[in-house]
């Protein structure tokens, strides 16, 4: 009888690195890991499938969708690992490596990152970029990046980080690199939130008027 390796070992062994070369001579490296990392927190179309109000959806209707994604903040993102390097690690290397925790880092970032990329691809393909707004601070440092430091000082720092985030420009995913970059066609996060709120308010008013609940 064949003995199957533990899921963790199966996941760790499946990583791959490759490089593409463009016409201008520039290259781009890709470091891949097993899809179970992302499937740890899968996103499905359950809401759409169970709510018949969404159907039928015509191509012209996609511009009516608004998606607001609010992150809870993460530590400053750094390119710490690659597939070749991690291929030499054992179990302990994945759990703790030079002061970092590769396994936890991978699980905590992969799901949210891939969902952000997928939604960005969808809205950009539908020419509805402004219907998707992702607000996330991925440059937190020290205690502000921790999930269990609830001191008054740290909470105040998080409040200030949130206020600062409102003044930052809206970002969108660069489909070539997968990284978030400022979107020059949009304003700040605060301005876009106001824009979203105004559109939702107008839509709510229009629906109530249609039902005769409020006067014109």
The pLDDT value recorded for residue 114 is: 78
Q: What is the pLDDT of residues 172-201, one digit of tens each?
A: 888 777 778 899 999 999 999 999 999 999
The pLDDT value recorded for residue 14 is: 56
pLDDT, the chain, mean: 75
The pLDDT value recorded for residue 55 is: 56
Q: How far is 61 from 211, CA to CA, in rounded Å?
A: 21
So where are the chain's domains?
A: 16-74+84-214
The pLDDT value recorded for residue 1 is: 41
Model confidence band, residue 79 (pLDDT cutoffs 50, 70, 90): low
| Portion of the chain with pLDDT greater than 90, in percent | 20
Q: What is the pLDDT of residues 115-166, one digit of tens each?
A: 888 888 888 888 888 889 999 888 888 888 777 788 999 999 999 999 999 9
Evaluate whether 53 touches 125 at the Cβ level (below 8 Å): no
Model confidence band, residue 19 (pLDDT cutoffs 50, 70, 90): confident
CATH 3.10.20.600 fits 16-74+84-214, yes or no: no
Mean pLDDT value across residues 100-106: 71
Q: How far is 143 from 140, CA to CA, in rounded Å?
A: 8
Helices 152-166, 189-211: inter-axial angle, 10-degree rounding: 80
The burial of 134, by beta-carbon neighbours within 10 Å (0-12 exposed, 13-18 middle, 19 or more buried), is given as buried
Q: How far is 67 from 71, CA to CA, in rounded Å?
A: 13
The pLDDT value recorded for residue 166 is: 95
């Amino acid at each position: 009888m064949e003995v199957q390796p533990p899921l963790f070992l199966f996941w760790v062994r499946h990583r791959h690195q490759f490089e593409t070369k463009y016409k201008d001579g520039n290259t781009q490296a890709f470091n891949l890991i097993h899809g179970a990392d992302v499937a740890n927190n899968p996103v499905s179309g359950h809401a759409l499938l169970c709510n018949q109000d969404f159907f039928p959806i015509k191509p012209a209707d996609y511009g009516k969708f608004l998606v607001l994604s609010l992150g809870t903040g993460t530590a400053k993102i750094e390119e710490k690992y690659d597939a070749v390097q991690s291929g030499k690690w054992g179990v302990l290397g994945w759990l703790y490596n030079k002061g970092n925790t590769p396994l936890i880092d991978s699980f905590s970032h992969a799901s949210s990152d891939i969902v952000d990329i997928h939604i960005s691809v969808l809205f950009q393909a539908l020419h509805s970029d402004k219907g998707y707004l992702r607000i996330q601070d991925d440059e937190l440092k020290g205690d502000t990046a921790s999930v269990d430091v609830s001191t008054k000082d740290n909470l105040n720092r998080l409040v200030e980080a949130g206020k600062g985030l409102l003044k930052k420009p809206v970002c969108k995913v660069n489909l070539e690199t997968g990284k978030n970059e400022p979107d020059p066609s949009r304003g700040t996060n605060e301005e876009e939130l106001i824009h979203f709120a105004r559109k939702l308010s107008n839509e709510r008013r229009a629906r109530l008027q249609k039902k005769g609940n409020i006067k014109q």
